[in-house]
Amino acid sequence: MSFDKEKALEMCNRFCDNTLMETLEIVYTDAGEGFLEAKMPVNPRVHQPMGLLHGGATVALAESVGSAASLLFVNPEKQEARGIEISANHLRSKREGVVTGTARIVHKGRSLHLWEVKITDEEGRLISLCKITNMILPRKG
């Protein structure tokens, strides 16, 4: 069975309706074997008081893309991914433009997925480096 990029992106973007991802204007833009990418605009909606990209918004992007990426490895009608740990190192600030979060699988077990998520700017400079661990659970009801 081959990977269907368009179907994967449509599913991930559909899951954003009426969520924090919609509020933050996160859009999934690329996917492939073992990775998922999403973009988020940097504007006053995601600024901290000094006018810079808020670390919490950056982490929200990382968790969103890392959690959605786990859904690409499971049957979302029968299983769900729950983030159980996330860490972030913020390396560069940003005032405006767009950031991209790219999640790449580090470990894919039956019950745990570990992702590295790089948040970069339009020039590919690293803004934050994040790690997320997801627990894979049976979907209830």
Among 106, 107, 102, residue whose Cα is nearest residue 128: 102
Cβ partners under 8 Å of residue 54, min gap 6 = 46, 47, 48
Sign of CA dihedral 139, 15, 8, 134: negative
CA nearest neighbour of 109 among 78, 134, 140: 134
Amino acid 101 reads G
Taking a C-beta distance cutoff of 8 angstroms, is the pair 129, 92 a contact? no
Per the annotation, the verdict on 63 as an active-site residue is yes
The residue annotated as part of the active site, out of 25, 63, 77, 123, is 63
In the numeric block, which tokens belong to residue 78? 């029968």
Which residues have a catalytic role annotated?
63
